[in-house]
Amino acid sequence: MASPRTAVAGATARNQVSRTGRVASAPRMGLVTPAQRLPLDEVILGDCLSALDRLPPASVDLVFADPPYNLQLGAGALLRPDQSAVDAVDDDWDQFSSFEAYDTFTRAWLAACRRVMKPTATLWVIGSYHNIFRVGSALQDLGFWILNDIVWRKANPMPNFRGKRFTNAHETLIWASRSDQKGYTFHYEALKGGNDDLQMRSDWFIPLCTGEERLKGGDGRKLHPTQKPEALLARTILSSSNPGDVVLDPFFGTGTTGAVAKRLGRHFIGIEQEPAYAQAARERIAAVEPLSRAALLTAPTKRAEPRVPFLSLLEAGHVRAGETLTDERRRHKALVRPDGTLGVGPASGSIHKIGALVQGLPACNGWTFWHAERGGRLVCIDDFRGTMRAGMGSAA
């Protein structure tokens, strides 16, 4: 929840938000002026709406937004059982006069972000129960298409000292595309590979920002009240952007987004209105060493890999005509024919068609269903395909 919060009156004057949340007049999409130069790898000091207005349209690949949460903390200190004060978020940039004022501000910055997003760009926004539902409604009103909501489950949440509610142990991230248009970036295979070959789920168990990662002021206290952990930013950036992409953070705070983007070979644009935060962000990012190009190589998608038909496995000797394939549990068998089809009784067809037939299903991925026996153990035929693809890469 980094700053800045701009004056709501100024936001309304620039973007004339209607009662439904849609921007009354379409943003200008004309030629880029000198004032709209793309400030790559810079921290812009100032109001987020004014700074966003100066960016070229359709110029960024990813947005990560950690806006004010509008926590609505009442007067009086929040105390622990030992009567020590809790360092809660009571900064001016998190204060709004009403829900209506917060909604107006939210629609204004979301509309401004949407203008600078490329057609295939996506946006992440994080919040708590205080604001995330209002943000989600504004996203849909403005034409964004929600792809996922992610539960960030904190490994070390602050306890509920008063014992009147459940402990708030998570925050919510919304991931949305600019519209329902396809073509956005999502590194499904890379995430799965780093997750023990299991699909990455929408609940993420990540600790809060603590230890050396937490920036401290001269008084030894945390510099920013809601600094997010780098692991959280790394997962969002790795999942939905590519090396060389431009990542925008309109509420930059102490620069976690910029630090992670630089390390991962992305460009960043940060907007921050608090001078102390902006300076801390610049110093922090300057000390970051980017990873090597080799370390940043992204696992290719299945569709991008060379096509290897089953017949090629026969021709290369990985599978033999006349041998029997079986499923992993040895419940079904099929005969390999010399033309690259499989046979079961009078029926014949592709590895996919016969795999579906023996299971009584409408479809089947034959590559992962069928196995061949090698040395007393079953080997998935997709492993043979992987070997052939690796050989194609070496030859290239």
254 and 337 assigned to the same domain = no
- Tens digits of residue pLDDT in 223-245: 777 789 999 999 999 999 999 99
| 3 domain residue, yes or no | no
Nearest one of 99, 179, 170 to 139, comparing CA atoms: 179
**Is 348 a residue whose pLDDT tops 90?**
yes
Find, among 136, 114, 117, the residue nearest to 125 by Cα.
Answer: 136
Amino acid at 272: E
- Of 296, 330, 347, which closes a domain? 296
**Does residue 301 sit within a domain?**
no
User: Taking a C-beta distance cutoff of 8 angstroms, is the pair 311, 320 a contact?
Assistant: no
Closest CA to 131 of 66, 228, 203: 66
330 has a pLDDT exceeding 60? yes
Q: Shortest CA distance to 104 belongs to which of 136, 127, 138, 71?
A: 138
Shared-domain flag, residues 278 and 388? no
Do 226 and 355 lie in a common domain? no
Measured in whole angstroms, the distance separating CA 276 from the mean position of its chain's CA atoms is: 28
What does the pLDDT read at residue 225? 73
* Backbone Cα Rg of the chain: 26
Quick check: 145 and 183 in contact, CB under 8 A? no
The answer on pLDDT for 21 being more than 50 is: no
Same domain, residue pair 318 and 179: no
Structural domain span for residue 260: 42-71+89-296
- Calculate ∠ Cα 141-182-66, nearest 5°: 50
Digit-coded pLDDT (tens) for 175-229? 999 988 889 999 998 898 888 889 999 999 998 877 777 777 777 777 777 789 9
368 contacts: CB under 8 Å, gap ≥ 6: 380, 382
Ramachandran assignment for 374, one of left (phi > 0), alpha (psi -120 to 50 degrees), beta (any other): beta
- Are 157 and 108 part of one and the same domain? yes
Mean per-residue pLDDT for 120-128? 96
Q: Residue 91, Cα to own-chain centre: how many angstroms?
A: 28
Residue entry with tokens 């306890």:
159
How remote is the C-alpha of 301 from its chain's centroid? 17
Instruction: Give the model confidence (pLDDT) of 254-298 as tens digits.
Output: 999 999 999 999 999 999 999 999 999 999 999 999 999 888 877
Which residues contact residue 183 at a Cβ distance below 8 angstroms, ignoring those fewer than 6 apart? 119, 120
Q: How many CA atoms lie within 13 A of 260 on its CB side?
A: 24
Task: Judge whether 126 lies within some domain.
Answer: yes
Residue 12, pLDDT score? 41
6: in domain:
no
**385 and 257 within one domain:** no
- Residue 68 in tokens: 């004010």
Residue 362 and residue 272 in one domain: no
Q: Bridge partners of 174?
A: 125, 149
- CATH number of the domain that 241 lies in? 3.40.50.150
184 and 229 share one domain: yes
Predicted confidence at residue 19, as pLDDT, reads 30
Same domain, 58 and 201: yes
Does residue 268 lie within any of the structural domains? yes
What is the SS3 string spanning the chain?
Answer: CCCCCCCHHHHHHHHCECCCCCECCCCCCCCCCHHHCCCCCEEEECCHHHHHHCCCCCCEEEEEECCCCCCCCCCCCCECCCCCECCCCCCHHHCCCCHHHHHHHHHHHHHHHHHHEEEEEEEEEEECCCCHHHHHHHHHHCCCEEEEEEEEEECCCCCCCCCCCCCCCEEEEEEEECCCCCCCCCCHHHHHHCCCCCCCCCEEEECCCCHHHCCECCCCCECCCCCCCHHHHHHHHHHHCCCCCEEEECCCCCCHHHHHHHHCCCEEEEEECCHHHHHHHHHHHHCCCCCCCHHHCCCCCHHHCCCCCHHHHHHCCCCCCCCEEECCCCCCEEEECCCCCEEECCEEECHHHHHHHHHCCCCCCHHHHCEEEECCEEEEHHHHHHHHHHHHHHHC
How much of the chain exceeds pLDDT 70, in percent?
82
Write down which residue in 296, 326, 344 finishes a domain: 296
Q: What is the C-alpha separation between 36 and 370, in angstroms, rounded?
A: 56
Q: List the beta bridge partners of residue 79.
A: 85
If asked whether residues 246 and 386 sit together in one domain, one would say no
Q: Are residues 208 and 346 in the same domain?
A: no
pLDDT tens string 57-113: 999 999 999 999 877 545 445 444 454 544 544 555 456 778 899 999 999 999 999
Domain count, the chain: 2
> Distance between CA atoms of 54 and 245, rounded to whole angstroms?
19
What per-residue confidence (pLDDT) applies to 234?
95
Model confidence at 13: pLDDT above 50: no
Tell me, yes or no, whether 321 and 350 share the same domain. yes
Quick one: which of 387, 369, 356 has its CA closest to 326? 369
> Would you tell me the crossing angle of helices 99-116 and 8-15 to the nearest 10 degrees?
50
Establish if 133 belongs to a structural domain: yes
pLDDT at 90: 53
* Domain endpoint, select from 250, 272, 296: 296
